[in-house]
Amino acid sequence: MSAGGLLEDSHGRVIRDLRISVTDRCNFRCLYCLPETEEAANFYRTKFDALRNPTPGPAAALQWKPRSELLTFEEIVRLVRICVGMGIEKVRLTGGEPLLRRGLEELIRQIAALAGVKDLAMTTNGFQFVQKADGLKEAGLQRVSFSLDSLERENFKKITGRDGLGQVLSGIRKAQELGLEPVKVNCVVIRGINDHEIEALADFACRQGLVMRFIEFMPLDSQRLWQRELVVTGAEIRARLSRRFGLLPRPSTNVSETARRWQFAGKQAEIGLISPVSEPFCGHCNRIRITADGKLRTCLFSVVEHDLKPLLRGGKSDNQIAAWLSERVWLKEERHHIGERDYVPPARTMSCIGG
């Protein structure tokens, strides 16, 4: 099924990118992921009349996986080592919020020591980053991406359920000071919530020398409240930014890159547009994901998860696990079906899947 031991699917895509969720827990309650706050419920209720579930449950109702069900650091490192031997080059640690996983620095240290890991990155909401940044850098973290959906304190609180804008901005500055370049900032744009801030966020990136990536709102929220009317397309965002800034196309040499990129004229800063809803990039997808509880997901929108944990804890050899991975990756979905009549959302949300 795969040539030369590489992880390859039946559509000819070679997998180079592994994303590992280290915890399903999160200290934010973002509208597009865990909309469990009263403000989130009020937004959806007032924006649209016919909601499938007009009253999101309280945050306390969330059930996190017990620690015993999460992959141990030893299991994660073993899995990464096997995958690197099959062609994986990039590893990104995600969550939930990865900084909530105790001892994360040690996990990073062990992964960074593996021969063949060319890129070791992390995605975080940034709330605790300043306190942990030096240890993460020393352990071997190479890059970091932050979630930042608003520069307005009250709007940030409405989107995330937490008054934490100052901490996130401090985290971004700290990452730049430590040289974790390029520092990327991800913004999920939702019509009627933060689309009025698109230009301000781009200007912030320009002034700070950041890579600002605008991401279309995807159907991965826990309350299944996503509606296409809330999506601000990449084309719309680009048109608005082109009117305001002198953007120059920045061609990529990586065909599997998810973002279409533009650079500010005369600046180091960059804009990226990730448009999985309006302009799917499935044909070049080279990613797989491992959930915090050890499930392999061959697509962000997979409706099937493949359980790795029994193999890792059941005495299987590295070669047996590699063969199992090859078989499952061979079946990787050709594409997602967002917006189509037969689309079925994943059973679990982004907080469980990992970004």
Domains of the chain: 3-353 (3.20.20.70)
Q: Quick: pLDDT tens for 153-188.
A: 999 999 999 999 999 999 999 999 999 999 999 999
For residue 273, what pLDDT is reported? 94
Task: Please give the radius of gyration of the chain, using alpha carbons only, rounded to the nearest integer.
Answer: 20
Share of the chain above pLDDT 90, in %: 65
pTM: 0.88
How many whole angstroms separate alpha carbon 265 and alpha carbon 278?
27
Report H helices in the chain: 38-47, 73-84, 104-112, 129-139, 153-160, 165-177, 198-208, 234-244, 309-313, 318-330, 350-353
Q: Quick: pLDDT tens for 6-30.
A: 999 999 999 999 999 999 999 998 8
For residue 284, what pLDDT is reported? 81
For residue 47, what pLDDT is reported? 55
Query: Among the listed ranges 80-94, 194-208, 248-262, 295-309, which one has the minimum average pLDDT value?
Result: 248-262
Q: Quick: pLDDT tens for 23-49.
A: 999 999 888 776 555 555 555 555 554
Specify the length of the chain in residues.
355
The DSSP-derived string for 55-104 is SPPPGGG--PPPGGGSPPHHHHHHHHHHHHTTT--EEEEESS-GGGSTTH
- Positive/negative CA dihedral, 158, 198, 178, 286: positive
Q: For residues 285 and 56, is the Cβ–Cβ distance under 8 A?
A: no
Query: Among the listed ranges 34-38, 142-146, 196-200, which one has the minimum average pLDDT value?
Result: 34-38
Mean pLDDT of 93-111: 97
Q: Which among 222, 229, 227 is positioned nearest to 56, based on CA atoms? A: 222
How many whole angstroms separate alpha carbon 190 and alpha carbon 196?
10
Mean pLDDT of 67-80: 95
Per-residue confidence band for 109, with pLDDT thresholds at 50, 70 and 90: very high
Alpha carbon 1 to its chain centroid, in Å, reads 28
Mean pLDDT of 63-81: 91
Q: Is the pLDDT of residue 58 over 50?
A: no
For residue 350, what pLDDT is reported? 58
